[in-house]
Amino acid sequence: MNSKAEIINVAKQTIEMEANAILHLSTLIDDNFADAVNLIYNSKGRVVITGIGKSAIIASKIVATLNSTGTPAIFMHAADAIHGDLGLILEDDVVICISKSGNTPEIKVLVPLIKSAHNKMIAITGNKDSFLGLQADFVLNAYVEKEACPNNLAPTTSTTAQLVIGDALAICLLEKRGFSSKDFAKYHPGGSLGKKLYLRVHNISSINQRPQVDANASIKEVIVEISEKLLGVTAVIENDKIIGVITDGDLRRMLSKTDDFSSLTAKDIMSENPKRISPEAMAVDAKELMEDFGITQLLVEDNGKYAGVIHLHDLVKEGII
């Protein structure tokens, strides 16, 4: 395979083969799946997920997904389990064993040990009639007809199927728990994803300076206020209320129209009814409002009173954009 066309063709075939296998999985979902979800949901313990080889890697990812969506889970490598790590499994834990064939030597040793401890066991396997499938309390069928590997050897389609079954479990449990975006933010406080879920406008605007001028302020006063406060904007205030806004753009437009602005005041050049946002609004809502109206700043208004400015650059700095 030397040409770009051949490479592209193989890539497309791989994706299509795996996509078709995943679509077929939906036909294999049955009462076992629902019973497994309810078992985990009602359990007082954790979910211990184990596997060998590539299935162990998939097990680690499913553990991460469950933990991040409200279901406590830990990973236990099947090989390590039979050499001392079985102590990870507590009395009320539910065990999920992942194995394509369900007949690997490590699984055959591990399964009886789990059964003897009376822990409930769920199998994710491509062979429900395997040793694992027959021993498990519930079997989640992850059968695939063929690996994407041309030799039908390297775990590709089968591990993708295992991963999708794990995702389906996690989402069903998430739905049963009523796991909300606030819950998600609690488990994901770091990075831009977390900030989108918890960062509010006041968390940003309270750090910024608060440029403002009176309606009768001179243009020189307006220029000085915008320059000193470094936000490219100033609110125009009258009786503690926002009556307008002046931006760098407003000043440029004024200068293009007149050579003498000595008699002009803030009220003469301001834009009325500026877009504003509550300090309790989510920062991501401020982003969307700026994008909708093609602006780079929003005035913050708290119970009818001017409370500051949030700038597009603030959102970029925080990773919201």
CATH number at residue 115: 3.40.50.10490
Same domain for 166 and 241: no
Backbone phi, then psi, for 227, in 5-degree steps?
Answer: -65, -45
Average pLDDT over residues 169-181: 87
Residue 194 lies in a domain: no
Closest CA to 95 of 134, 122, 131, 65: 122
pLDDT value for 3: 92
pLDDT tens digits for range 10-31: 999 999 999 999 999 999 999 9
- Residue 224 domain boundaries: 201-317
Judge whether 228 lies within some domain: yes
Of 143, 178, 213, which closes a domain?
Answer: 178
> Across the chain, which distance is largest between two alpha carbons, in Å?
92
Pair 168, 58 in one domain: yes
* Residues facing residue 138 across a β-bridge: 122
Residue 211: pLDDT over 80: yes
103 with 169, same domain: the answer is yes
Task: Tell whether 38 and 98 lie within a shared domain.
Answer: yes
Q: Is residue 188 part of a domain?
A: no
Question: 3-state SS of the chain?
Answer: CCCHHHHHHHHHHHHHHHHHHHHHHHHHCCHHHHHHHHHHHHCCCCEEEEECCHHHHHHHHHHHHHHHCCCCEEEEEHHHHCCCHHHHCCCCCEEEEEECCCCCHHHHHHHHHHHHCCCCEEEEECCCCCHHHHHCCEEEECCCCCCCCCCCCCCCHHHHHHHHHHHHHHHHHHHHHCCCHHHHHHHCCCHHHHHHHHCEHHHHHCCCCCCEEECCCEHHHHHHHHHHHCCCEEEEEECCEEEEEEEHHHHHHHHHHCCCCCCCEHHHHCEECCCEECCCCEHHHHHHHHHHHCCCEEEEEECCEEEEEEEHHHHHHCCCC
Would you say residue 260 has pLDDT above 60? yes
Of 48-57, 148-157, 191-200, where does mean pLDDT reach its minimum?
A: 191-200
Q: What phi and psi values does residue 51 have, to the nearest 5 degrees? A: -175, 180
Residues 15 and 139 in one domain: yes
Question: In this predicted structure, what is the pLDDT of residue 236?
Answer: 95
> Which phi and psi (to 5°) does residue 172 adopt?
-65, -40
- Structural contact between residues 298 and 282, judged by C-beta atoms closer than 8 angstroms: no
269 plus 222 within the same structural domain: yes
Does 80 lie in the same domain as 116?
yes
Contact indicator for 16, 29 with CB cutoff of 8 Å: no
Instruction: For residue 272, give the CATH number of its domain.
Output: 3.10.580.10
Q: What integer is the mean pLDDT of 71-79?
A: 93
* Residues 171, 208 share a domain: no
Number of domains present in the structure of the chain: 2
24 is in an annotated binding site: no
Top pLDDT among 305 and 318 is at 305
In this prediction, residue 188 carries a pLDDT of 56
Q: pTM of the full predicted structure?
A: 0.66
In a domain, 310, yes or no: yes
Band (pLDDT 50/70/90 cuts) for residue 189 is low
Query: What is the average pLDDT across 306-312?
Result: 92
Question: Which residues, other chains included, contact 266 with Cβ-Cβ below 8 Å and sequence gap of 6+?
Answer: 213, 214, 215, 216, 217, 218, 219, 221, 222, 234, 236, 244, 246
Residue 207 has pLDDT above 80, yes or no: yes
Give domain status of residue 232, yes or no: yes
How far is residue 107 from each of residues 93, 97, 110, 136, 258, measured CA to CA in Å? 18, 8, 5, 11, 84
Say yes or no: 157 and 292 in one domain.
no
Q: Note whether 156 and 45 are same-domain residues.
A: yes
Average model confidence (pLDDT) across the chain: 90
Confidence check: pLDDT of 256 > 80: yes
* Per-residue model confidence (pLDDT) at position 68: 84
pLDDT tier, 181 (very low <50, low <70, confident <90, very high otherwise): low
Mean pLDDT of 250-271: 88
Give residue 194's pLDDT. 59
196 found inside a domain: no
- Work out the percent of the chain whose per-residue pLDDT is above 70: 93
CA atoms within 13 A on the CB side of 172: 16
Predicted confidence band of residue 156 (pLDDT cuts 50, 70, 90): very high
Share of the chain above pLDDT 90, in %: 69
- Structure confidence at residue 82 (pLDDT): 81
Please indicate whether residue 247 or residue 190 has the higher confidence score (pLDDT): 247
* Pair 157, 44 in one domain: yes
Q: Based on the fold, state whether residues 15 and 124 are members of the same structural domain.
A: yes
Question: Residue 52's pLDDT is what?
Answer: 93
Beta bridge partners, 277, equal 300
pLDDT of residue 145: 92
**Confidence check: pLDDT of 70 > 70:** yes
The pLDDT confidence band at residue 259, using thresholds 50, 70 and 90, is: confident
